[in-house]
Amino acid sequence: MNKTEKKINTAFENINNQEQLHTISTDVEQIIENLSTGQLRVCEKKGDQWITHEWIKKAILIYFRLKKMSIISAGDLSFYDKIPLRKWTGNEGVRVVPHALVRKGAYIATNTILMPSYVNIGAYVDEGTLVDTWATVGSCAQVGKNVHLSGGVGLGGVLEPLQARPVVIEDHVFVGSRSIIVEGAVIRKGAVIGAGTLITSSTRIIDVTKSKAPVYRGEVPENAVVISGSTVKKFPAGEFNVPCALIIGERSIKTNRKTSLNDCLREYNIS
């Protein structure tokens, strides 16, 4: 544990003590700046596991306590909030289409495209990713390289509870239009999520390609092709269909990822 981490942990134990919080305001501002530049991230992959850094979440929550409500101007538009928006110089290597909004403390890598969308504080969006129209990347969500978040996709955010893992979308994932991924679900590398699919930490993800269908929860396997489905569940009032997700195939591994994706979308008739 480094010196800054210790100071954040100590201050967070007395988060209602505004005077004490102000003594670490410089450290907190630097943490938020380091999140914006990608030098720090809330959640990192170590081996095959995603590890959440609780102390960085604490710093973000302290940042909210330290900041005051103010007018934020963006051309002819104005907003009233605590957290500033990212400002662009054109040298970042990011295409930002009006009205794409990124809060300070979120990292956007080079060669990404932001259509009119929203990226919240603590999020991490890696190189070559497309955040399509009206997609939302929630607080602390982690998005890998060459990901396609289609129109209206919603990635859940999580600042509390502190130990909770954020939503993770690994490299080369395709997420179809209007899909919702929340509660710290992990979509592994190369997976394809069909339009309108809901995945939570408790969603049953059933591999229907096998005779004894394995069931996953909160995690989509690598290169899996997933669509929305339903399964029967018994209740005191009777049997009803409840949402689930179905693994209907596997994306082929090719050097050319775009060719692999296009072939997969055609083969499985995925929107």
Inter-residue contact 81 to 69 (CB < 8 Å): yes
Other CB atoms within a 10 A radius of the CB of residue 28 amount to 25
Model confidence at 257: pLDDT above 90:
no
- pLDDT tens figures, 115-172: 999 999 999 999 999 999 999 999 999 999 999 999 999 999 999 888 899 999 999 9
Task: Enumerate the CATH 1.10.166.10 domain ranges in the chain, comma separated.
Answer: 3-66
Tell me the C-alpha to C-alpha distance, in Å, between residue 237 and each of 90, 202, 204, 234, 243: 59, 22, 22, 8, 18
Q: How far apart are CA 229 and CA 183, in angstroms?
A: 19
Task: Enumerate the CATH 2.160.10.10 domain ranges in the chain, comma separated.
Answer: 93-267
Average pLDDT over residues 4-28: 92
Candidates 2.160.10.10, 2.130.10.10, 3.30.565.10, 2.40.160.20; CATH matching 93-267? 2.160.10.10
Model confidence at 1: pLDDT above 60:
no
Model confidence at 271: pLDDT above 80:
no
User: Whole-prediction pTM value?
Assistant: 0.93
The topology (CATH level 3) of 3-66 is 1.10.166
Report pLDDT for 3.
Answer: 92
Q: φ and ψ at 195, to 5 degrees? A: -55, 140
List, as one string, the DSSP characters of the chain.
--HHHHHHHHHHTTTT-HHHHHTTHHHHHHHHHHHHHTSS-SEEEETTEEEE-HHHHHHHHHHHHH---EEEEETTEEEEESSPBP---S-SS-EE-TT-EEBTT-EE-TT-EE-S-EE-TT-EE-TT-EE-TT-EE-TT-EE-TT-EE-TT-EE----SSTTPPPPEE-TT-EE-TT-EE-TT-EE-TT-EE-TT-EE-SS-EEEETTSSS--EEESEEPTTEEEEEEEEEEEETTEEEEEEEEEEEEE----S-HHHHHHHHHHHTT--
Model confidence at 256: pLDDT above 80:
no
Strand order in the sheet with 107-108: 107-108, 124-125, 142-143, 168-169, 186-187, 219-220
Model confidence at 255: pLDDT above 70:
no
Share of the chain above pLDDT 70, in %: 99
Q: What integer best gives the mean pLDDT of the chain?
A: 93
Place of tokens 């605590």: 82
Instruction: Pick the closest to residue 249 from 201, 212, 194 (CA basis).
Output: 194
